[in-house]
Amino acid sequence: MTQPPTLTARVLAGEPRAIARAISLIEDEDPSATELVRGIFPHTGRAYLVGVTGPPGAGKSTLVDKLTAHLRASAATVGVIAIDPTSPFTGGAVLGDRLRMNAHASDPGVFIRSMATRGHLGGLSRSTGDAALVLDAAGTDVIIIETVGVGQDEVDIIRTADVSVVTLVPGTGDDVQALKAGIMEIADIFVVNKADREGADRLVSAVEANLALHRYGPDDWRPPIVKTVATTGAGIAELDQAIAAFRAHGAPRQEARRRSRSAYRLRELVAQRFMAHLEREVLADGEFDGIVDRVAARELDPYTAAHDLLARALAPSPLP
């Protein structure tokens, strides 16, 4: 199953249909996607990855849409990957995102793609990362990844971005939830969106108070708080400036962050490959589930189980 060589070349040439096709292969976990990523990888590393997360309905898509328009005004090419946490069959969020993003439909400098989480248990951060590589290889300057900050997958995705923007909204209680969920630690920039609503300043103060608990050295980046009204575009220029400031400030640290992204992805891949090898080549059908049952029933401890599995996976395969 080798990829027709033209797809890689067409992605590198920035052809939108080839980009879309490549991301579909990645999303479907098609075996040819591996070959594709291999081919484009040497041509990546130039794009700047902006992660945008926050509670459902915080206005992330509206914000991303306005930020995209703002970036386009300075001629940067923009790629948007929106992670849809809902089933594609209920589809509301995807449809909503598509409608909102239609403003850019005729702009060849903008590429927008929704990815569903269905069928990607634990693998979503990998497929999102690979989709970002495709856009990067295609010459996209800025890649924005929108996720709903609900689970570990989303946190993993945001953690791998070059800059993480955490969006909060006043008066929903979600703000408190988001702070609790550990999102606080990963934020490089806070956005208080829907600043036209009651309670925006109170939320800014709450985030300030939280930041005040941390000790920042003179060279440390202290996450700024940007107030926005995404529907009108108010505050978008300030958000863009905050991202540029982080980018300039973080330059020496950028490599370290990218290195930890590489380490994370490599570990993920090895773990996933190892499990796939175990399940396909070593264990009989359903055997893994049987072992899980025994651990759950306390007949077997997980350390012994893992040790045995490792030993079996590493044992030379019996001759055919």
Ligand X SMILES: Nc1nc2c(ncn2[C@@H]2O[C@H](COP(=O)(O)OP(=O)(O)OP(=O)(O)O)[C@@H](O)[C@H]2O)c(=O)[nH]1
Tell whether residue 227 is a contact of ligand X (CB under 6 A): no
Tell whether residue 133 is a contact of ligand X (CB under 6 A): no
What number of helices (H) and strands (E) belong to the chain? Answer: 13, 7
Q: Which helix (H) or strand (E) holds 313?
A: helix 302-314
Tell whether residue 56 is a contact of ligand X (CB under 6 A): yes
Residue whose CB is less far from Mg ion, 11 or 148: 148
Site map (CB under 6 A) of ligand X, residues 57-96, x = contact: xxxxxx------------------------------x--x
Tell whether residue 171 is a contact of ligand X (CB under 6 A): no
Tell whether residue 193 is a contact of ligand X (CB under 6 A): yes
Contact 152, 182 (CB under 8 A): no
Q: Which does 207 bind (CB under 5 to 8 A by kind): Mg ion, ligand X, none?
A: none
For residue 77, how many C-alpha atoms fall within 13 Å in the half-sphere facing its CB? 14
For residue 220, how many C-alpha atoms fall within 13 Å in the half-sphere facing its CB? 7
| Interface stretch with ligand X, choices 55-63, 136-144, 207-215, 255-263 (CB under 6 A) | 55-63
**Least distance between Mg ion and beta carbon 97 (Å):** 5
Angle between helices 152-159 and 124-137 (to 10 degrees): 30
| Sites of contact with Mg ion (CB under 5 A) | 60-61
Q: Compute CA distances 197 → 78, 171, 270, whole Å.
A: 29, 8, 47
**Least distance between ligand X and beta carbon 61 (Å):** 3
Question: In the complex, which residue's CB is closest to ligand X?
Answer: 59
